[in-house]
Structure 1
Amino acid sequence: MSAGGSIRRVDERLGLAICRVSLSGRTLVTYARDHVTVRTPSRPDFRDGNTIDLLAPPPQEALADWVGRFRDTIGMLGVPDAHLRWETPLPIDAPPGRPVPDAALASAAHRLGLSLQPLTVLLLDDLQAPPPAPATIAPVPPPSAVDPQPTDRRWHAATVLYRYDAEDVGDPDAWRQWDEQFVAWSVDVQRELAAGGRAQVWVAQRHGAPVARATLAHDRQGLAAVEDVIVHPVHRRLGLAAAITHAAVAAHLHLDPGARVGLAAEPGGRAERIYRRLGFVPHATVWTARPR
């Protein structure tokens, strides 16, 4: 119990922790009484790697002070825009949908040139097997200095799928706008995590070609997160996202049966509905205050 005598949730602020699971040693994470500072000096453009995570929703009158603190600390690294996050709890039976932000906070953010963007964090309750999918799903070992060529080709194939990281790709040339340099840096970080035993990349193949990918990262302390579930637009709505997510989670639970597994999804989107069918339930809304 807390000092005031109220019952404290054991999984309090787990939503923000899920969002930080895949951070590597390139990112500095420091903990204070009322916030967590996340800084990536080598990549000021890494938005989720340069943020202040508040341990409670801020009072509207304090939002400007937090923006000022961001600029005086993380902003000194060359990060151009303030990025603040906090979470609010969701009941496990909350229906899918986009939540409404606190009106006072939304108004305060608007005056500062910010908007409040929600992300739904779900936690695994009871893993459910999806219907069979028409693909071969297997993990990709991290590239090895001993025999790098076969793995490197598979790793590259998984990387190329980042071009289609969108729920709905209406423009066949939209992938040309992806930030190839940043993706290469992100994949290099992921390679470090995989080589260190903190991440596993999975790929689904159809007709010999990679058509879907997913990553499961963990913190070695019992917390894991599924990220970067991407399916090629031509092969969507075949159950591949559910199948590859299930395979990654099942494999991790086989190694660590007591692990807490979570993931984040756009509120009310198709991905959230897929994850709910796999046995994930709502845990929290992570709100991000960032420039409009």
Structure 2
Amino acid sequence: MEVTSLGYRTDLMMRRLGGSQVSDRGSHLVVRTPANPHYWWGNYLLLRERPQVGEWPGWVAEFAREFPQAAHVALGLDNVDGEIEDGAGLAALGFEILVDTVMTATALVPPAGPADHAEIRALRGDDDWAQLVRLRLALHGAGDNPAFAEFAARKAAEYRSGVEAGHGAWFGAFVHGEMRCGAGLFSDGLGVARFQNVETHPDFRRQGLASALVHRLGCWGLDRLEAEKLVMVADPGYHAIRLYRALGFRDVEHQVQAQRPPGAEK
């Protein structure tokens, strides 16, 4: 199956760099991440065609056949216009429909203001990577959720392995020694680099940390990774997308995901 979506092509790049298994079934891809079973978008089906009215239950059943132990269901659509057939029918099955914006840049514009109160640098050592996990837990309010805590720790370990293998870097913005903003950037060496998880602690937003960090990390990727194109996937309804546009990113397509959290069956 040839994937047309840049968003999913770079997602699959990330999954392969992270050790996931990708199986081609012709009409869809099966993506598995045995090392992190709680990672919904590491364990999903990517569908070649948009399902028509009445076809969604069949894909839910196909997901169950491929992932019999999974409590979630995750279905991606390889189309770039953001359209979905029978969205009401999908919602009636308990799904959330996410339509993100895929953005690219070949050069970056410096941020409007400096973040001089922060030290922006690559993560180094166990404490920095532990701080990445703590930032994720603080951001998502999931400190009392063991499944999410396990997921976050395993994702950090995967990203660290990718950094140590030379596939990219994870930068943090540190204020008084504490990581308050972070993001990763990775490439398989074929000219495209994908950002991962631009996250800012809730108490440190609107201080210029994310703009400064994305700019610094993106310039690092254009230079050190020899990337010709930077890819960012963003929620069109979240304020951060304006930040990325100000840095030089431009909207190029949409990415559609349908996910059903555990216990959301109807």
Confirm or deny a common fold (TM above 0.5).
yes
Structure 1 residue aligned with 2:128:
154
- The structural deviation recorded for 1:217 is 1.8
Normalised TM-score (structure 2): 0.85
Q: Which runs of 5+ in 2 are unaligned?
A: none
Number of equivalenced pairs: 255
1:171-221: per-residue Cα shift (whole Å, max 9, x none)? xxx353453222111111112111111131111122343322111122232
Q: Which amino acid aligns with 1:193?
A: G
**Superimposed CA distance per residue, residues 53-93 of structure 1 (whole angstroms, 9 cap, x where no aligned partner):** 123423234323222211111x23x1123210114435xxx
Give the one of 198, 202, 205 matched to 2:167: 198
CA RMSD of aligned residues (A): 2.4
Whole-angstrom distance in 2 between the partners of 1:113 and 1:175: 22
Corresponding letter in the other structure for 1:139: A
| Mapped pair 1:247 → 2:216 | yes
Aligned ranges for residues 136-285 of structure 1 at < 5 Å?
Answer: 136-141=119-124, 151-165=125-139, 174-178=141-145, 179-285=148-254
Q: Distance in 2 between matches of 1:130 and 1:162?
A: 24
Residues 157/44 of structure 1: CA separation in 2 closer, same or farther (3 Å cut): closer
- Partner of 1:95 in structure 2? none
What amino acid sits opposite 2:209 in the alignment?
L
Q: What is the DSSP-based 3-state SS (H/G/I as helix, E as strand, rest coil) of the residue aligned with 1:176?
A: coil
- Structure 1: which 5+ residue stretches go unaligned? 1-9, 91-98, 142-150, 167-173
Report % sequence identity. Answer: 25
For residues 245 and 253 of structure 1, do their structure 2 counterparts lie closer, same or farther at Cα, with a shift above 3 Å needed?
same
CA distance change for structure 1 residues 115 and 156 in 2, over 3 Å: closer, same or farther? closer
- Partner AA of 2:108 in structure 1: L
2:48 corresponds to 1:81: no
Query: Quick check: 1:18–1:263 contact (8 Å CA) kept in 2?
Result: no
Equivalences for 1:8-157 in 2 at 5 Å? 12-23=4-15, 24-73=17-66, 75-76=67-68, 78-89=69-80, 102=84, 104-131=85-112, 132-134=114-116, 135-141=118-124, 151-157=125-131
Deviations 1:35-69 (A, max 9, x none): 22101234332101111112342323432322221
CA contact (8 A) 1:87 1:285 kept: no
Shift in Å, 1:276: 1.1
CA gap of 1:83–1:261, structure 2 versus 1, over 3 A, is same
Q: Which amino acid aligns with 1:50?
A: N
Q: Deviations over 1:120-162 (max 9, x none)?
A: 2212254211132222211124xxxxxxxxx222232333221
How far apart are the structure 1 equivalents of 2:91 and 2:131? Answer: 42
Quick one: which amino acid aligns to residue 32 of structure 2? R
Note closer, same or farther for the CA distance 1:201–1:266 as it changes in structure 2 (3 Å cut): same
Amino acid at match of 2:20: T
- How many angstroms does 1:253 deviate by? 0.4
Moved more, 54-63 or 36-45: 54-63
Q: Hey, what's the Cα distance between the residues in 2 that align with 1:257 and 1:22? A: 17
The 3 A distance-change label for structure 1 pair 81 and 175 is closer
Greater gyration radius: 1
Distance 1:247 1:214 in 2: 11
Distance 1:177 1:266, change over 3 A: farther
Task: Give the conservation status (yes or no) of the 8 Å contact 2:106–2:228.
Answer: no
Equivalent position amino acid for 2:26 in 1: R
